[in-house]
Each structure stands twice: as C-alpha cells, then as structure tokens.
Amino acid sequence: MKLFGMQQSRSFRCLWALEEAGIEYEYIPVKLRTDSGDPDSAKNPRYLALNVQGKVPTLVDGDLVLTESVAILHYIGRCAPESGLLPNASMAMYAKLDEMIAFVLAELEQPLWSKGKHMFALPEEHRIPQMFDTAKFEFAKAINALEHLLSGEEYAIANSFTIADILLAQTFNWAIRFEFDVPEKYAELRDRHYARPAAKRAMTVIEE
C-alpha cells in the first residue's frame, strides 16, 4: 500500500492505523502549499489524478484509490482483522462505533477545520477572522455532547483500541495544537493513546 500524507494532518490517522495493523506500506510526503510545478505538490497533475481535491490523505492499494481518511481507516481495519482496529463486536456495538466516527467528523472536527480554513486554508479574500470565536463556541458544544457518548472507560468502544480511538486522539491533538480549550481528561486521552508504540512509530515516519 502507498499512503500519501502530510505531517500531522488527517493523513496521520491513517499512518497510525497502518502501524497498528502491521501492514507493509510506503509513505509518500505531499506538500500542500506549493504550486503545481513542484513534483511533490498536491496540486501537481499526477497527484490530482489520484485525489481530485488535491488533499491528503490518499491511499493506493493496487487499483484501489481511496481519498477519505475514515474510508481508509475502515479499509486498513478490514485488511488486518487481527489488529482489532475494527472490533469483533455485536451489531449494536458496531452501530455505536459508526455513531462515534460520524460524531467526530461532523461535530468535533468541524470547528477545528473551520479555524484552519479561516486561518490558512482558504484564499485570503474568503477568510473571516470572526469565525475563530464561533469555532471555539461550537467546539465547546461538541465537547459537552461527547460527555454523553463516551462511557468514560479506557476506550471509546468495546473495551478495546479501535479506529474510533485513533480518531478521537488525533482530533484532540489537533485541538490542542490549534489552541482550543481541551478539558484535562481529553488531553490525557490524547497522551495515553499517543504513547502507544504504533503512534510513536508513525510520528518518527513524519519526522524523517
């Protein structure tokens, strides 16, 4: 498998999952803010042929090309069932996993991405700095809702480490880096999961 990614962006969750799964892979760093003439740029036509939005991550496995991080997490989990990244659980437990993943993407991550878009990702003329306060407000609301979704045990779902834990930990890492107010227990959740050997190995890959 080949994973195209950029540092601690959303591609990191896929890199981490590959390390948890013990799958052989090649990691190809992509540059997001260079122009199309740069062969490593996400705007280069060769990369755009794989990922039409010029975003990361992209996973290539033979003829299969995937460009959504959560689809990639599911694929990695299915390729390595013994990893437990997708739990061997009841229908109801699986539904809770899907719920948590949808919540992280639709509610918890959105304010972070709003801030990112209005800080650096959008063309300057479309950036609205007042969005920062709105993002902070929405993140706090999502944190309150999360209290009701998490059982308070060690893992998000099924008493074992799954792709939902990777998503939660990476999203809190993102929130901390973007200076959102992250309650201590979620900062601890981030620290605990980032201390896993697979997360540390993934971190060394992006630091190379």
Ligand X SMILES: N[C@@H](CCC(=O)N[C@@H](CS)C(=O)NCC(=O)O)C(=O)O
Q: Which of 1, 15, 17, 56 binds ligand X (CB under 6 A)?
A: 56
Determine, following the binding rule CB under 6 A, whether residue 44 of this chain makes contact with ligand X. Answer: no
Q: Which is nearer to ligand X, 69 or 162 (CB)?
A: 69
HSE, side-chain direction, 13 A CA sphere, residue 169:
24
Inter-residue contact 56 to 4 (CB < 8 Å)? yes
- Cα(114)–Cα(122) distance, integer angstroms: 10
Determine, following the binding rule CB under 6 A, whether residue 170 of this chain makes contact with ligand X. Answer: no
Q: Which of 21, 55, 59, 135 binds ligand X (CB under 6 A)?
A: 55
- Cα(18)–Cα(193) distance, integer angstroms: 15
Inter-residue contact 129 to 122 (CB < 8 Å)? no
Return all residues near 119 (Cβ < 8 A) that are at least 6 apart.
Answer: 127, 132
Q: Which is nearer to ligand X, 61 or 68 (CB)?
A: 68
Shortest distance (Å) from residue 171 CB to ligand X: 11
Helix ranges (H only) for 124-162 are 131-149
Q: Which of 7, 27, 29, 32 binds ligand X (CB under 6 A)?
A: 32
Q: Which is nearer to ligand X, 93 or 98 (CB)?
A: 98
Residue nearest to ligand X (CB): 55
Rg of the chain taking only CA atoms, in angstroms: 17
Site string for ligand X, 58-97 (x = CB under 6 A): ----------xx----------------------------
CA-closest candidate to residue 199, choices 19, 2, 47, 28? 19
Shortest distance (Å) from residue 102 CB to ligand X: 12
**Could you tell me which stretch among 54-62, 81-89, 92-100, 123-131 binds ligand X (CB under 6 A)?**
54-62
Inter-residue contact 15 to 27 (CB < 8 Å)? yes
- What does the longest C-alpha to C-alpha distance in the chain come to? 50
**Could you tell me which stretch among 53-61, 78-86, 146-154, 164-172 binds ligand X (CB under 6 A)?**
53-61
Which residues in the 116-145 window bind ligand X by CB under 6 A?
A: 121
Place of tokens 């308070």: 152
Determine, following the binding rule CB under 6 A, whether residue 9 of this chain makes contact with ligand X. Answer: yes
Residue ranges that bind ligand X, judged by CB under 6 A: 9-10, 32, 55-57, 68-69, 121
